[in-house]
Structure 1
């Protein structure tokens, strides 16, 4: 009798363990680029057990570009990631059933900018014709450049485009091999700091958002499959990330120290400054203070979609619901942008 009871209890435990394992959702998550301070929140959620607390088994890989996040998810290789909403718009216009959904906007202000030397020949967009502009071929800032030029009455064909490696943009500008570069400010600003230069005094930044392209940028996106089949997992993912964003900003030293466990070669002082710079310049916007972190303005989003559709001559205009779904966001009270020390 004792053997029968023991066998029954063992069977119950095994079945219970199996059921518990099935409750855990595995999520393959891709970043937009190599590990930087701006990704500290993702590893904070992983290390602190916030993903696990939401019954998520999250694996994180480095990325190959903010637009590549979209294609990675569309391929089925990843379930979620951190990438560019403008790439979602472009893909949703032609493959609406396959394109991922943005579910949490991180960069309320787009980081796309043209960078020039303060004493260089390019002082405004009107100076671009016949000058040399460098950019990686796949960069989001470069892909939007024709629209920026058209919006500001600049002849794009007259600009001398040079394709350059992402890690050489600032160096080639400094050497005078190009007159301007199309950059992602979150990366280039700190590259200049690491070169012992003053990004604010020695250089001129022309943000697309100040020149007629009021676009959104990077945020958390998920596959339509994950959103439809595991909506609670998506909500849990955002709860964990939202909590971690606020906690990493409250204690940036601890956040960067933790990030260094995953990438020992990072320069902690540079990445700490990058984390705070990105928050102050791209995340803590008047709109984010009004709507909460993660959300977008409906009118602004529709305008951004129209802008991208026109710029890339897309065959159809996706509706806002095909691009962004706020239904997975934590409560607004939990998404108040934190006030951090200057």
Structure 2
């Protein structure tokens, strides 16, 4: 009897020590708990983070630039942000301890989205009309290059700064004729507001000249150097979360109501599928695996960026991305 109590006590102590040993790692998301956030919820709810000894808190964000200062200041060790926005941040803040460590959207989700009934059927139709653009929006940051590559005259476009909560409602009401943002977010949010899908015109920047990478997991480099195993473990769990979500998007989204009680699971499953098909599962990812960069493509992206953005410091790829913490390539294969 006494030995059984000792054994039971040992189990409880071991469990407590194991829980105490988990490293807390808050993760700054780029946006709300919508479908594309499901892979991170999967990684938490299915224990992928815990299996790596990590206690990960998922914190929703306010746009694709939001996480960069949070991670750069060390408030968060990891976050999710737009690569192009990160490049501009580091150019303005040289030496800041933040870099991208794993690409999520191999093909960027940034786009201009309009309504055909408001006269937006081709890119040039935005001239003479009103474009709604949230100032912290990564797509708005890319718009000048999109405009230059497609021969738009920025002086002929009236830009209306607006907040993220009012972006889709203002487009649905016709107050603005087009907006910038992530294509899948705007498209389905408009549909939810009752805008007929056949009335929505979508112009993904990646289809009109921009060869950028999109959103990526960013890390605080000081933290990563001190905790390399934890960062690799975190990235491994994220990969597994995406693999699971890609295999069954509906099941992944079904785990989300605990994070977003009012979520429309059918709508968010569709949004997740749009992100998977349009931004994650590219030919590059199928060939090389999830999360990395092709150096030649990234160099081309930097050259493109120079044509619309005046760098203060010479851009070099190693300032903005490292593959030092990526899990092995065979573990990053996507089906």
Task: Give matches, 1:159-238, under 5 Å.
Answer: 159-199=157-197, 201-238=198-235
Residues 306 and 317 (structure 1 numbering): CA distance in 2 closer, same or farther, change over 3 Å? Answer: farther
Assess if the C-alpha contact under 8 Å between 2:31 and 2:61 holds in 1: yes
Distance in 1 separating the partners of 2:184 and 2:73? 27
* Distance change (3 Å), C-alpha of 1:99 and 1:212: farther
Match in the other structure for 2:318: 321
The correspondence for 2:51, drawn from 50, 53, 76, is 53
Runs of 4+ in 1 over 4 A off after TM superposition: 16-23
Aligned to 2:92: 94
TM-superposed CA distance for 1:285, in Å, is 0.8
Match of 1:267 among 261, 264, 267: 264
Alignment partner, residue 7 of structure 1: none
Normalised to the residue count of structure 2, the TM-score between the two structures is 0.89
**What do residues 241-280 of structure 1 show as CA deviations (whole Å, max 9, x unaligned)?**
1011111222223222211122211111111111111101
Q: Output one character per residue of 1:10-34: Cα deviation in whole Å (capped at 9) or x when no partner.
A: 9xx99x9999778643212100011
Aligned alpha-carbon RMSD (Å): 2.3
Give the structure 2 partner of residue 118 of structure 1.
Answer: 116
Residues of 1 paired with 2:94 and 2:202: CA distance? 35
Pick closer, same or farther for the CA change 1:265–1:208 going to 2, 3 Å.
same
TM-score by length of 1: 0.88
Matched positions, count: 325
Q: Which residue of 2 aligns with 1:4?
A: none
Q: Shift of the alpha carbon at 1:151? A: 2.2
Q: In structure 2, what is the Cα distance between the partners aligned to 1:117 and 1:17?
A: 56
Q: Is the 8 A contact 1:135 1:182 kept in 2?
A: yes
Counterpart secondary structure, 1:275: helix
Shift of 1:307: 2.7
Q: Distance in 2 between matches of 1:197 and 1:155?
A: 28
Q: Is 1:281 matched up with 2:296?
A: no
| Maintained 8 Å contact 2:29/2:79 | yes
**CA distance in 2: counterparts of 1:123 and 1:193, whole angstroms:** 18
Partner of 1:243: 240
**Which moved further from structure 2: 237-246 or 329-338?**
329-338
- Specify the alignment match of 1:157 in structure 2: 155
- 1:107 matched to which residue of 2? 105
1:135-183 residue CA offsets vs partner (Å, 9 max, x unmatched):
1121111122122222222221221111122233233223322221112
Inter-CA distance 163–94: structure 2 relative to 1 (3 Å threshold):
closer
* 8 Å CA contact retained: 1:108, 1:216: yes
2:26 is paired with a residue of what secondary structure? Answer: strand
